[in-house]
Structure 1
């Protein structure tokens, strides 16, 4: 079994302009390589936009650290469709297309998944941004790109703050204090089964939990009610993804709310889930027959 791990020029090990968080790419590749090589299989990191690659040389392609897709979405989806014609793609292109715009949260909410209250600003302007504070009944709001990743192009504003220019369709959500106190809880699933959970905490003085901003992670043992909330998100999907990360934050009533369902290129935190590589290898073997 030979698998392509789709990456991007900003994460590949030989890139002169590697992202500061590209060590996460290395952790995933090391995790998968150990599991695959122990069974005589191979996984190779390849940039998704490499026009010289013959994708039919691979038994499948895993979407990995393609951490520039949010700024090249049309080209990314077009390339994934091409790859899917040549080999098996995980997760599939149709699922990726749906998950690439955070409006998927509306679909999940309609299925009963509890999400963070959200106001959609397709053409964001200062008037609409200021109106969001009343619409969401909050004095502290986070504005995020509808197609975005790693908190890039994100703004946290208090009522009365100057409104920066927002060049992309945005979403507005009330800032939830639990992100600073408890942190964000992430649940990793492989082929519909729970793999591991972790808690992600922001650096002092920040609220963003990504490693790019000083965020840190620790293993987490979820209680039954939290586990049920995360499992319900996965259960709401018509087609089971090969891999998924469910990111949740606690609401004011004490229940977890979905903040993101990552189905495209999630970092799955192998250091907090030491069995991840073996689980993904076994799941791929089942899917590929």
Structure 2
């Protein structure tokens, strides 16, 4: 059997999510096919020599240990150790700059600028959302009025209009192949999710971002919001360590995903 180093932070406190439950469940299934070593993302480097494959899962925001993470990625590449996800994504893996780039390129993304002066290109909004460029898990996010935004004049941050959307919707892809979709019918309860039956239009929306990212292998979550007119806008493209919420799936759908995930790992060279 191949030895799999499965990196996760079992103690990370995430609002509405239990990382440890998801990863203990997944590893309980993977152990039938791999020798499993479960490690903390900030203690991974000493164990690289034991791994045939590294799975980077619910590790929390890497900004909290960016220097260690960068060193880890450099060593993984230097020693040619395959990882899942592969570290070649262009979205959240690299920070939030992609939201600016995608918006400027005309993709259906929540309008995003990085300066107060840039607001001239957006429609007027009563409130604005300000995010860190390297933020994650809502860390450092503020909701400000136009006046408050003017007074703060944030620098090197993302500024977006506050969208009065219907609900949030997430599409989950494995090696660029669609697996399932979940949505939060109550927009004030982001992680109370239910399975969602996608339309062809929904999938076309999500797939354009998967194709743009062109990541070699891994799990990607496309987070979107449904506007009042029924259209979708990208909120986030999570291509590093997306939470899967597989406990919300039916047993058959959950088993199907685990089978697909296992097969994908066994195919990594």
TM-score (norm 1): 0.78
Are the structure 2 counterparts of residues 276 and 85 from structure 1 closer, same or farther at C-alpha, using a change threshold of 3 Å? farther
How big is the shift at 1:172? 0.8
From the superposition, tell whether residues 46 and 22 of structure 1 become closer, same or farther in structure 2 (CA, over 3 Å).
farther
Question: Is 2:174 the counterpart of 1:190?
Answer: yes
1:73/1:165 Cα in 2 relative to 1: closer, same or farther (>3 Å)? farther
Distance 1:277 1:30, change over 3 A: farther
Aligned to 1:62: 55
Aligned partners of 1:220 and 1:97: how far apart in 2? 24
- Separation in 1, partners of 2:31, 2:19: 18
TM alignment of 1:139-218, pairs within 5 A: 139-161=126-148, 169-178=156-165, 182-200=166-184, 206=188, 209=190, 215-218=191-194
Q: Is the 8 A contact 2:131 2:142 kept in 1?
A: yes
Q: State the Cα deviation string for residues 52-95 of structure 1 (Å, max 9, x = none).
A: 63212111111112214123323312222213334212223343
Contact 2:225 2:233 in 1 (8 A): yes
**2:227 & 2:195 partners in 1: Cα distance?**
21
* Cα pair 1:96 1:264 within 8 Å, conserved: no
Gaps of 5+ in 2: none
TM-score by length of 2: 0.83
Q: CA deviation at 1:264?
A: 0.8
SS of the residue aligned with 1:279? helix
Does residue 1:24 correspond to 2:11, yes or no?
no
The correspondence for 1:219, drawn from 189, 195, 198, is 195
**Whole-angstrom distance in 1 between the partners of 2:119 and 2:154:** 20
- Residues 278/143 of structure 1: CA separation in 2 closer, same or farther (3 Å cut): same
Distance in 2 of aligned mates of 1:74 and 1:166: 29
Alpha-carbon spacing, 1:282–1:93, altered in 2? closer, same or farther (3 Å)? same
Q: How much does 1:252 deviate? A: 4.9
Aligned counterpart for 2:98 among listed residues 101, 104, 114: 104
Q: Distance in 2 between matches of 1:166 and 1:31?
A: 45
Alpha-carbon distance between aligned partners in 1 of 2:85 and 2:235, rounded to the nearest angstrom: 20
Which range moved further: 81-90 or 91-100? 91-100
CA-atom RMSD in angstroms: 2.9
Q: Determine if contact 1:248/1:256 at 8 Å carries over to the other structure.
A: yes
Contact 1:111 1:236 in 2 (8 A): no
Residue equivalent to 1:84: 77
8 Å CA contact retained: 2:91, 2:238: no
